[in-house]
Amino acid sequence: MEKTYLLGRSKKVNFIYLVALIVVASLIIVKLIEIYLENDIITIKTDFYNQVNRHIYTKMVGFMNPQINFYVESKEEQLMQQQFDSGLNTLYGLSVPLVPFILNVKNEDYETMVENYSYVIKEKDTFENVIDPYKEDEVFDTLSIIEQSKTVPYDETLLKKLNDFNFLMTKMYTVDRTVKVTESDFPIEEFLSMDARVDLTKPGPKILIFHTHAAEDFIDSRIGLKEDTVVGVGDVLTSLLQDKYNIQVIHHREQYDIIDGVLDRSNAYNLIEKPVVNILKENPSIEVCIDIHRDGIPDEIRLISSINGKQTAKIMFFNGICKMIQGGKSVSLQKSRPNPYIKENMAFSLQMHLKANELYSNFTRRIYIKGYRYNMHIAPKTLLIEVGAQNNTVQEAKNAMEPLAEILYQVISGQ
């Protein structure tokens, strides 16, 4: 009996030693791989960690507030998102049963760009008019208030500052976490030297205004009235440009994010592309295209400024640069979604941004950079503009069109 017991114990000890040996050997192998690959492994691990935390956290925010969700540019991106959700379900479902439930919640409504604002504001009275509560080097699951510097007014020293990449990233641009940018993406001197002028003396329309997400409305919008949506905001801009600045404008007021009476923005960019391209073909005099949106942010944040004594919604210029982080590396999307005008788009938005800061301080937020092209390939001078957010009033959004019209006129007239 004693011999059998000792033999059994020896087998158990041997098994434990074997398991320990395998564990130690595995750790050594992993460490050697990390040493050999260095930054690649670190990048992959960090990217996965950030992506998982970002996704889970923002989904939880969406679950707690049914008015918050996310939009995707195409059915292809929607499928990729579903596959990622499924992977998270498998990964976390065994240990955290609540996560698959949260990830599978489908909200009835969603707003653009809300993924940039996944922070919880705990002390909203600490300072007024929070601008872009997003900072590139912050972890998404950090619950804190971020007071971001106001955009820098235009002055004689700004051109020198623009050559500082760190200055660009902290004062001028906000870069989405799905994108990795380098200094080569911002040839500032080239951006500033590009001619944004339009010959306003020639006949024919010069500007096209449209709305990929025409159903986007505001806190006091009346249901069913286009005039209380971003379309109504576009109406005001159209009138100002034509009546005050004598610039002929075509305003495309059709809706592409309501499908069979149901809000569906998953394919809006694809649906609007052909009609807009056809308008450009029929009106070759058009040189400027403007896609007007409104942002979606936590209710605690107010994108508001006072201009000429009026409460005015802040605006944000947006650029898609056709590349994304995939597998820890930056991958170009130019083959699947080519945009030959990325530099021209970015130059135009930068010149608009600088002119805005010269004329109206605290009117614009930092330029936002994301990965896809968002139909900005249709023309060199294409702007995607976020006007306020869901908690701005209709009047605040419409008030923003007066300074925007002046900024646009000065840039395209070369003043």
pLDDT band with cut points at 50, 70 and 90 for residue 95: very low
Mean pLDDT for 34-45 is 50
Task: Please state at what angle helix 39-64 crosses helix 2-37, rounded to 10 degrees.
Answer: 100
Q: What is the pLDDT of residues 315-330, one digit of tens each?
A: 999 999 999 888 888 9
141 has pLDDT over 70: no
pLDDT band with cut points at 50, 70 and 90 for residue 10: low
pLDDT: which is higher, 98 or 286: 286
Mean pLDDT for 260-273 is 90
- Pairing between strand 381-389 and 288-295? parallel
Q: Which domains does the chain have, with CATH numbers?
A: 152-413 (3.40.630.40)
Task: Please state at what angle helix 75-93 crosses helix 39-64, rounded to 10 degrees.
Answer: 90
CA–CA gap between residue 171 and residue 269 (Å, rounded): 29
User: Would you state the pLDDT for residue 287?
Assistant: 97
Look at the block and give the residue holding tokens 């209380």.
228
Q: Percentage of residues in the chain with pLDDT exceeding 70? A: 66
CA angle 406, 412, 415 (to 5 degrees): 70
Mean pLDDT for 99-124 is 33
Q: What would the DSSP string read from start to end of 7-21?
A: HHHHHHHHHHHHHHH
Q: Which of 104, 140, 146, 101 is nearest to 124 (CA)?
A: 146
User: Would you state the pLDDT for residue 79?
Assistant: 53
Going across the sheet that includes 381-389, the strands are 173-175, 367-370, 315-320, 381-389, 288-295, 207-210, 249-251
159 has pLDDT over 90: no
Q: What is the pLDDT of residues 398-412, one digit of tens each?
A: 999 999 999 999 999
Helices (runs of H) and strands (runs of E) counted in the chain: 12, 13
Structure tokens of 389? 């957010």
Neighbours of 399 (CB within 10 A): 24
